[in-house]
Chains A and B, each alone.
Chain A
Amino acid sequence: MAQVSAAPTTGAAGRGAFRGFFRELTRSKTGFAGFVIVALIVGMSALAPIFVDGKMPTDLDAIWGPPRAGHWLGTDMAGKDTLKQIVLGGQTVVFVGFLAAAITTVIAVVVGSLAAYIRGRFDNFMLQLTDIVMTVPQIVLLAVLGAFFSLDSPIYLALIIGCLTWPVLMRSIRAQALSLKEREFVEAAKLLDLGTTRVVFGEIVPNMASYILINFIIAVTNAIYALVGLYVLGLAPLAGANWGIMINNAWIGGAMFLPAAMPYILAPIAMIALLQLGLIMLTRSLEEILNPRLRDK
Chain B
Amino acid sequence: MSEIETAGTVVHEEPGAVRPEPLITLRGVSQTFKSKKGSLKAVDDVDLSVGPGEVLCLVGESGCGKTTTARMAAGLAKPSHGSVEFEGRDIWSMSKREFAAYRKSVQYVHQDPYASLNPIRDVHRTLATPLRKHGLAKGRKDGWEQSAKLLEQVDLVPAESYLPKFPHQLSGGQRQRVSVARALSLNPKLIIADESTSMLDVSIRIGMLNMLGRLRDDLGVGFLFITHDLAIAKYFGWHGRIAVMYLGRVVEFGPTPQVINDPQHPYTRALLDAVPEPDPDLTRTKKAGGGLRSSEIPSLADLPTGCSFHPRCPLHEADTCDVLRPELEAVSADREVSCHVVGRASPLHVPSPRTGGDGE
Contacts and interface: CB of A to CB of B under 8 A. Distances in A.
Interface of A: 1, 4, 6-11, 183-185, 187-195, 198, 202-203, 206-207, 209, 291-293, 296
Interface string B165-187: 01011000000000100100110
B118 A192 contact: no
B356 interface: no
Interface string B102-133: 01100110101001111111101100011001
B244 interface: no
B108 A191 contact: yes
Nearest to A2: B160
25 contacts: A1-B158, A4-B144, A4-B160, A6-B140, A7-B140, A10-B121, A10-B124, A10-B125, A11-B164, A185-B119, A188-B108, A189-B129, A190-B76, A191-B74, A191-B103, A192-B103, A192-B133, A192-B185, A193-B133, A193-B186, A203-B118, A206-B118, A291-B120, A293-B168, A296-B168
B282 interface: no
A187 B182 CA distance: 13
Interface of B: 74, 76, 100, 103-104, 107-108, 110, 112, 115-122, 124-125, 129-130, 133-134, 140-141, 144, 148, 158, 160, 163-164, 166, 168-169, 179, 182, 185-186
A296 B169 contact: yes
Nearest to B113: A184
Nearest to B158: A1
B117 A11 contact: no
A248 to B, nearest CB: 45
B104 A11 contact: no
Contacts of B116: 184-185, 188
Contacts of A185: 115-119
The 3 closest A-B pairs by CB, nearest first: A192-B130, A184-B115, A184-B116
Nearest to B100: A193
Given A194-B133, A195-B133, A198-B133, A11 B122 contact: yes
B312 to A, nearest CB: 33
Nearest to A192: B130
